[in-house]
Structure 1
Amino acid sequence: MLDAPDQPSDDVLPEPRPLTPRAITLTAALLGSVSLLAVLVVVPTPYAVNSPGPTRDVLGEHDGTPLIQVSGAPTYDSTGELRLTTVSSTGGPGYPSSILGVLSGWLRSSSVVLPVEQVYPPDVSQEQIDESNQAEMVSSQEDATVAALTELGYEVPATLMVAGTVPGTDADGKLEENDVIVAIDGQALPDYQTLVDVLADVAPGQTVTLTVRRHGQSVDVPVVTSEREGGGAQIGVLIDPTFDMPVDVTISIDDIGGPSAGTMFALGIIDKLTPEDEADGVTIAGTGTMDVTGAVGPIGGIRQKLAGALRDGAGWFLAPEANCDEVVGHVPDGLRVVRVGTLHEAREAMVAIGAGEADDLPTCVVEQPVASPAAG
């Protein structure tokens, strides 16, 4: 029988091998890299990073609650999606951008890195920013509802209360806060749209007579109109309208702020209140502010929103015409952009896309310079 080889006893451990210089160097390098990475993750920088944010289907639900709920009128289902788009930002008060985040933003074509002072005003708290964004969101929902109902032919009565006047205009000092404008040149103003329509026929510099209700009395105030930005006449009055909605619309979206979802909210309301399946199985994304007259306004972060739309399955994107200069050259492959300036144009685009008849819809194009005639 062969003897078994000697085995170390259970209470005797082998002596550890001494660390080599190479192992010490690798360990130190590893610890240094981990420490550097930790610094890159947490150390704030003076930059803001804007990246593609989440999208939401305004015809769908979020956390089990429909984004748009309507009462007082029949509603209809849709097989398509209408997605509002957002921008995710770091660099604001309480949410600083890290060095790693800034480097990542520089490397991604869908993100933009800017000095923080270009994005966030100084000496403003995150609470103030959140309150402002929420107020803009609430206002945009009301404006979108008024515009959508008006587009559908509803009458939306409004009380046109004066919230202030524009300094330097003739109305400054003549109109008072809390005046209610009830007529212009003798024509009654039952809603905001009537005021817009009347002013469309007034030339800047022309005098109009505003009839206002002031402290229970009717007062006529002559006002010389001035030219508003973009052309047309304005009376120089800031109006805070109160609307009497013929249909109750509730929009439930608590985690997104700002006014840029107005156009998609308005389209969602229209889709729900009409029996036609406008989107008809197509995913359409978009952005743009919406005022009560149905005008689509420009927004920020259009390039990030384009990328977010494609990421979440959209094949079409409705872009404000005022943002076209930022769109050209930055449309990701697989996404088609349609420019819109009014809610009516956006509605027509939605219908055409759903019907598969969108080839002739207007898009954002680069204006080509006109060639000078060759010398003879």
Structure 2
Amino acid sequence: MPGPTQNVLGSSDGKQIIAVSQAHTYRSRGKLLLTTVNASGLPGYPVTNAEVVWALFDPHAVVMPREVVVPTGQTAEEYEAESATEMKDSQNSAVKAAKNMLRKRGIDVADAQVSMHVDDIGGPSAGMMYTLGLIDKLTSQDETGGKTIAGTGTINAKGTVGEIGGIRLKMLGAKRDGATWFLAPRGNCDEVVGHVPSGLRDVAVSTIDDAYDAVVAIGKGKGASLPHCTVDTDVEKTK
């Protein structure tokens, strides 16, 4: 089901989600929301038959075989360790991608020390939003312009945005928590088209430059021309 969102420009449990030292930071009036999925039935998170039946009839829930998500026989400890490692790697890649982009734009942040804090969230899918949040904090421009912008996607040090799972549920969570824009990996566009909640505008992105330019355009009130997700019908016919 749709999970909680977190504003990467804000704080959680009294700690900044993105904390920066040895560099000047700036505040933003808007929000950049990372999005999540609440999953039951994973190792360590048992689900009852009644819950499965209920979810089958809930339009805001998805039921799938457990083996689609995790390997057969994986223990709760193994699942938690893998999820935590993916999150840590994602945060490290986000820092590298943000610094690389800022350096290309003539901003020296080589000495900036960054730590990221989010409780009870694992996996790699928040990478793009971490990167955008760090860039926002290290630049004087208020990129969001006071808007609430959500999104999802993995990131690597080169700034490539990768596809993720559960994007339809994440869009529902974004809309629920006040977002009016949603940055979606282009690789997930076949799952986005036809499933964007009313009042939420999707934007297809492939790189952190795409995502950053989209945030700036949205913040300036010029997001109307940003690319929607589309599906290549010729590709779909061959599947």
Q: CA RMSD in A?
A: 1.6
Using the alignment, how far apart are the partners of 2:93 and 2:5 within structure 1? 21
User: What is the TM-score of this pair, normalised by structure 1?
Assistant: 0.60
Higher strand share: 1
Corresponding residue number in structure 1 for 2:7:
57
Is 2:57 aligned against 1:107? yes
* 8 Å Cα contact 2:150-2:183 kept in structure 1: yes
Secondary structure of 1:319's match? strand
Alignment deviations for residues 30-71 of structure 1 (CA, whole Å, 9 cap, x no partner):
xxxxxxxxxxxxxxxxxxxxx100100000111111101111
Match runs of 1:223-262 below 5 Å:
246-262=111-127
CA distance in 1, matches of 2:74, 2:231: 38
The separation in 1 between residues aligned to 2:134 and 2:207, in whole angstroms, is 15
Which position in structure 2 is the counterpart of 1:188?
none
Higher share of residues assigned helix: 2
Aligned to 1:363: 228
Q: For 1:182-203, what per-residue CA distance to the aligned partner results, in whole angstroms no more than 9, with x for missing partners?
A: xxxxxxxxxxxxxxxxxxxxxx
Alignment partner of 2:197 out of 319, 322, 332 = 332
Residue identity matched to 1:267: L
After TM superposition, the score normalised by the length of structure 2 is 0.93
**Whose Rg is larger?**
1
- Matched ranges for 1:64-213 at <5 A: 64-153=14-103
Partner Cα separation in structure 2 for residue 154 and residue 320 of structure 1: 22
State yes or no: 1:310 paired with 2:175: yes
Once the two structures are superposed, what CA deviation does each residue of 1:309-344 show, in whole Å capped at 9, x if it has no partner? Answer: 001110000000000001011111111000000000
Distance 1:70 1:308 in 2: 28
Instruction: State the one-letter code of the partner of 2:42.
Output: G
SS at match of 2:63: strand
Contact 2:23 2:111 in 1 (8 A): no
Number of positions where the alignment pairs a residue of Structure 1 with one of Structure 2: 231
Equivalent position of 2:145 in the other structure? 280
Q: Return the structure number with greater relative CO, CA threshold 8 A, min gap 6.
A: 2
Q: Could you list the runs of 5+ residues in structure 2 that have no partner in the other structure?
A: 235-239
Aligned counterparts of 2:205 and 2:43: Cα–Cα separation in 1: 34
For residue 284 of structure 1, give the secondary structure of its aligned residue in structure 2.
Answer: strand
Once residues 119 and 104 of structure 2 are traced to their aligned partners in structure 1, the CA distance between those partners, rounded to angstroms, is: 28
Which residue in 2 is equivalent to 1:354?
A: 219
Q: Displacement, 1:246?
A: 2.9
Q: Does 1:321 align with 2:186?
A: yes
Instruction: Give secondary structure in 2 for the equivalent of 1:88.
Output: coil
SS of 1:135's equivalent in the other structure is helix
Inter-partner Cα distance in structure 1 for 2:57 and 2:83: 29
Task: Structure 1 unaligned segments of length 5 or more: list them.
Answer: 1-50, 156-244, 370-376
Runs of 4+ in 1 over 6 A off after TM superposition: none
Contact 1:154 1:246 in 2 (8 A): no
